[in-house]
Amino acid sequence: MAINSTRKVLLRLDPSYKRCPSCGDVNTLRRSRAKNFYENVLKVTRVYKMYRCRKCNWRGPISTLIITKQTLRNLAIYIAMVLLTLFIVSRAIGNITS
């Protein structure tokens, strides 16, 4: 069964094919190793990854996620469901203890 990409909450992309933020050339980015605590934290979150431009030697974090309108809609639905569940549970606990 194939998974439809529109049903995913977040979409991943490969930034190595994007434009360099400094020089603007396409397909010059490559992955770079984390070199300090801040970069290791970014690495653990898996949202940003470190890249380096082969042409101009720019180095920095680039997001690997695409946030679309569908993503925001899904996140809003999940947050609303969690809040509704918390409200119902707190009411139920309040009724039991009263």
- Which residues, including other chains, have CB under 8 Å from residue 20's CB and lie 6 or more apart? 26, 28, 29, 53, 55, 56, 58
Go through 29-54 and write b for each residue having 16 or more CB atoms within 10 A of its CB, e for each that does not: beeeeeeeeebeeeeeeeebbbbbbe
Q: What is the pTM (predicted TM-score) of this model?
A: 0.58
pLDDT class for 55, splitting at 50, 70, 90? very high
Q: If pLDDT is split at 50, 70 and 90, which confidence band does 11 have?
A: low
Instruction: Give me the mean pLDDT over the 55-76 stretch.
Output: 87
- What integer pLDDT is reported at residue 57 of this predicted model? 92
Asked whether the predicted pLDDT for residue 24 surpasses 60, the reply is yes
Give the model's pLDDT for residue 74: 86
More confident residue, 94 or 55: 55
